[in-house]
A and B are shown apart, each in its own frame.
Chain A
Amino acid sequence: MIWLDTLVQGILLGGLYALFAAGLSLVFGIMRLVNLAHGDLIVFAAYLVLMGVTMLGLSPWIAALVAMPLMFGLGWLLQTVVLNRVLGKDILPPLLVTFGLSVALQNGLLEAFSADSRRIPAGSLEGASLNLGLVTVGVMPLLTFASAIAVIVALNGLFYHTALGRAFRATSDDAVTAGLMGIEPKRIFAMATGIAMVVVTIAALYLGMRSNFDPSIGPARLIYAFEAVIIGGLGSLWGTLAGGVIIGVAQTFGASVNPEWQILAGHIAFLIVMLLKPRGLFPRAVD
């Protein structure tokens, strides 16, 4: 039954990757923006939560709640002041700007918090586990996975049942026509990035509670997140979850063969999916 255990652990790990990816999927789906600073923004949010815990003495959950509006504001500002200016048919300018942001953020964090690896203390949750008969799972991974599903349900609710969501979808399909219908694409984009940063804060909370982090780990998280988004297909949030799970399962199976193959196995799963389905498994939007 070891393979079943590996499978379950992999699926749960996929939840974490889906959380990393959900915000990216939202932004990528709506404005085709490749945010290369996404991983570093997750790390930034993790430090923000950590500061709430260590300096204000808050519990991690409350600290994350406090960080959310701050991150929303940051995302809104980032989109309004910087990213909206470089969005266009050419993908190069936004790519370069976010690459610059990524390097600036990494080194800013390094200067502010040093290269020491940190962790958000999660109290009794850290080692807790649940016996489900066939397999035993950690409470923290289970909670991560449940949060990933909750985030995706909430985002889908927003997407398909609110006026803002309608504007998101309309802008995603055709920004020019949406503009003719009285939607201001740039304001929509700013809202989308703001919401993505709220999701980033949730991802950061679990990243920080589950493992150590330091200013340099952002790009690796970005790659996992991007792989999940691309495997899932443009604009499909459930697809993003599926993508996260595929990478998570590939990684745990890879690690069970040889611990050094964990990350490699995830990347190879991504390459195989891309070879078979270059547009991902469940593409919603046409690009």
Chain B
Amino acid sequence: MYRLTTRTRAGTATAIAALVLVVAGLALPAIASRGVIQDLFFILTMLTLAQIWNLLAGYGGLVSVGQQAFVGLGAYAMFAGVILLGWNPVWAIPLGGLAALVLAVPTAFFAFRLQGAYFAIGTWVIAEVTRLLVAQWKTLGGGTGTSLPREATSNIVGTDMIRTLFSVREAAARDILAYWLALVLVVAVTGGIYWLLRSRLGLALAAVRDNVEAARSVGVDAGRIKWAVFLIAAAATGLTGALIFMQTARISPDAAFAVTDWTAYVIFIVVIGGIGTIEGPILGVIVFFVLRSALADYGSWYLMTLGLIAITVMLFAPKGLWGLISARSGLHLFPVRRKLVGLKIEGGNG
């Protein structure tokens, strides 16, 4: 008897470590300061966006430069839910995912007609069009943007419990709630992508990325898989966008649809860490945050450095930092490679 497995010892160890980390992360607000929680919120949301972009570009071969469309629309849909429908901000977050999903359908119809570079530019143009259209939405502040109303931010679901639990003030409780939601989201997105890659769909995805014709010839429906990946990525990006702007409680088209914040940084994180791996974005976001903290006092030098590092990595280590580590050590923390076990090769002398 033999079977296919992706399980390795490193993979099991990672799973246990991840579980411990998540539990520790949930308990962290008990001891951490508000600043730490805000930093972690930033790290977790950027990591979520990086994992999603990595799924699109690194696994799906869909190099989108327009993910800010889904961040922005998700955030605006959440604001619309709160301001126009009077929903609680937490319940309005799924609305952000839904709106992004709805936008992704016509976007995919349009962008999938375009190849390679055209696809990248096409998605960017759609993001710009979305930004310009949203800027016309006068009830949500038009071009200057708006804030979440005081009565909405003061009674967000769960903040009362957090206030009594950690005896913190209202604004800090909101940060803790946002942090918990970000933690749940990053675990769901990373776990979901990992599950996807180990499933049949993931195998098909890798086949399509590596060679579309060969994948088609063995019966993989390349078009359907790209659609699935694009829609899943859009919805998850929309949720993340809604969560990010629930925490800031203030929105404007320029901030919500910023190509630098929601696409350029995200791409740098993935590239520096290592594209096409789940470990890469995790390593990348740590490097990104350390650089950001170290160079925080130098204003735009920081971004310049980040851009130059991304170029250097692309030139000399195209598989990123994790690629270097993995090539030297053979380590895979999230193994997706299928192996045959229990197979005994016999014969040859009969």
Is there an interface contact between B267 and A99, defined as CB atoms closer than 8 Å? yes
Query: For the complex, what is the distance from the CA of A260 to the CA of B121, rounded to whole Å?
Result: 23
Q: Report the minimal beta-carbon distance from A109 to chain B, rounded to whole angstroms.
A: 9
Q: Contacting A108 at CB < 8 Å: which of B267, B268, B304?
A: B304
List the one stretch of B11-19, B25-33, B97-105, B127-135 in contact with chain A. B127-135
Query: Is B333 on the interface with A (CB-CB < 8 A)?
Result: no
Is there an interface contact between B264 and A34, defined as CB atoms closer than 8 Å? no
Query: For the complex, what is the distance from the CA of A111 to the CA of B299, rounded to whole Å?
Result: 8
Query: Cβ of B306: which chain A residues have Cβ within 8 Å of it?
Result: 100, 103
Query: Is A102 on the interface with B (CB-CB < 8 A)?
Result: yes
Is there an interface contact between A100 and B307, defined as CB atoms closer than 8 Å? yes
Query: Cβ of A271: which chain B residues have Cβ within 8 Å of it?
Result: 110, 125-126, 129
Query: Is B113 on the interface with A (CB-CB < 8 A)?
Result: yes
Given A104-B311, A271-B125, A95–B304 Cβ distance below 8 Å? no
Q: Considering the complex, which residues of chain A in the window 29-69 have a beta carbon less than 8 Å from any beta carbon of chain B?
A: 32, 34, 36
Query: Is B225 on the interface with A (CB-CB < 8 A)?
Result: no
Q: Which chain B residue shows the least CB distance to A268?
A: B129
Q: Contacting A267 at CB < 8 Å: which of B129, B271, B275?
A: B129
Query: Cβ of A219: which chain B residues have Cβ within 8 Å of it?
Result: 259
Given A28-B117, A99-B310, A223-B121, A93–B132 Cβ distance below 8 Å? no
Q: Is the interface of A mostly helix, strand, loop or mixed?
A: helix
Q: Report the minimal beta-carbon distance from A82 to chain B, rounded to whole angstroms.
A: 7
Query: Cβ of B314: which chain A residues have Cβ within 8 Å of it?
Result: 86, 93, 96-97, 100
Query: Cβ of B122: which chain A residues have Cβ within 8 Å of it?
Result: 274
Interface size class of chain A, counting residues whose CB lies under 8 Å from the partner chain: 35 or more
Query: For the complex, what is the distance from the CA of A224 to the CA of B308, rounded to whole Å?
Result: 25
Q: Contacting B116 at CB < 8 Å: which of A85, A91, A110, A264?
A: A91
Q: Contacting B311 at CB < 8 Å: which of A91, A101, A227, A275?
A: A101
Query: For the complex, what is the distance from the CA of A204 to the CA of B309, rounded to whole Å?
Result: 28
Most chain A CB atoms below 10 A, which of B114, B117, B125, B275? B117
Query: Is A92 on the interface with B (CB-CB < 8 A)?
Result: yes
Is there an interface contact between A95 and B307, defined as CB atoms closer than 8 Å? no
Query: Is B141 on the interface with A (CB-CB < 8 A)?
Result: no
Q: How many A-B residue pairs have CB under 8 A?
A: 120
Given A34-B117, A230-B118, A86–B304 Cβ distance below 8 Å? no
Query: Is A107 on the interface with B (CB-CB < 8 A)?
Result: yes
Is there an interface contact between A100 and B311, defined as CB atoms closer than 8 Å? yes
Is there an interface contact between A223 and B125, defined as CB atoms closer than 8 Å? yes
Query: Is A76 on the interface with B (CB-CB < 8 A)?
Result: no
Q: 1/0 contact trace for A193-206 toward B, CB 8 Å? A: 00000000000000
Is there an interface contact between A223 and B128, defined as CB atoms closer than 8 Å? yes
Q: Which chain A residue shows the least CB distance to B111?
A: A274
Q: 1/0 contact trace for A81-95 toward B, CB 8 Å? A: 010011000011101
Q: Report the minimal beta-carbon distance from B322 to chain A, rounded to whole angstroms.
A: 16
Q: Is the interface of B mostly helix, strand, loop or mixed?
A: helix
Q: Which chain B residue shows the least CB distance to A230?
A: B118
Is there an interface contact between A264 and B308, defined as CB atoms closer than 8 Å? no
Query: For the complex, what is the distance from the CA of A82 to the CA of B299, rounded to whole Å?
Result: 26
Q: Considering the complex, which residues of chain B in the window 56-75 have a beta carbon less than 8 Å from any beta carbon of chain A?
A: 57, 63, 65
Query: Cβ of B128: which chain A residues have Cβ within 8 Å of it?
Result: 223, 263, 267
Q: Contacting A95 at CB < 8 Å: which of B110, B117, B125?
A: B117
Interface size class of chain B, counting residues whose CB lies under 8 Å from the partner chain: 35 or more
Query: Is A270 on the interface with B (CB-CB < 8 A)?
Result: yes
Query: Is A116 on the interface with B (CB-CB < 8 A)?
Result: no
Q: Considering the complex, which residues of chain B in the window 291-350 have a beta carbon less than 8 Å from any beta carbon of chain A?
A: 299-304, 306-311, 314-315, 318
Query: For the complex, what is the distance from the CA of A19 to the CA of B17, rounded to whole Å?
Result: 56
Query: Cβ of B136: which chain A residues have Cβ within 8 Å of it?
Result: 260
Query: Is A226 on the interface with B (CB-CB < 8 A)?
Result: yes
Q: Report the minimal beta-carbon distance from A185 to chain B, rounded to whole angstroms.
A: 18
Is there an interface contact between B114 and A274, defined as CB atoms closer than 8 Å? yes
Q: Considering the complex, which residues of chain B in the window 108-155 have a beta carbon less than 8 Å from any beta carbon of chain A?
A: 110, 113-118, 120-122, 124-126, 128-129, 132-133, 135-136, 143
Query: Is B199 on the interface with A (CB-CB < 8 A)?
Result: no
Query: Cβ of B310: which chain A residues have Cβ within 8 Å of it?
Result: 96-97, 99-100, 103
Query: Cβ of B303: which chain A residues have Cβ within 8 Å of it?
Result: 103-104, 106-107
Q: Contacting A270 at CB < 8 Å: which of B63, B125, B135, B267?
A: B125
Is there an interface contact between A110 and B300, defined as CB atoms closer than 8 Å? yes
30 A-B pairs within 8 Å (CB atoms) are namely: A32-B116, A32-B117, A82-B315, A85-B315, A91-B120, A95-B117, A96-B310, A96-B314, A97-B310, A100-B271, A100-B310, A103-B303, A104-B311, A106-B303, A107-B300, A107-B301, A107-B304, A107-B307, A108-B300, A108-B304, A111-B301, A230-B121, A260-B132, A260-B136, A264-B129, A264-B132, A271-B126, A274-B113, A275-B113, A278-B113
Which residues of A are in contact with B by a Cβ distance under 8 Å? 28, 32, 34, 36, 82, 85-86, 91-93, 95-97, 99-108, 110-111, 219, 223, 226-227, 230, 260, 263-264, 267-268, 270-271, 274-275, 278, 287
A-B complex: 5 closest residue pairs judged by Cβ atoms: A104-B307, A100-B310, A103-B307, A107-B300, A34-B117
> 10 more A-B contacts (CB under 8 A) besides A96-B271, A104-B311, A260-B132?
A32-B116, A100-B268, A102-B307, A104-B308, A106-B303, A107-B304, A108-B300, A230-B118, A260-B143, A275-B113
Which residues of B are in contact with A by a Cβ distance under 8 Å? 57, 63, 65, 110, 113-118, 120-122, 124-126, 128-129, 132-133, 135-136, 143, 259-260, 264, 267-268, 271, 275, 299-304, 306-311, 314-315, 318
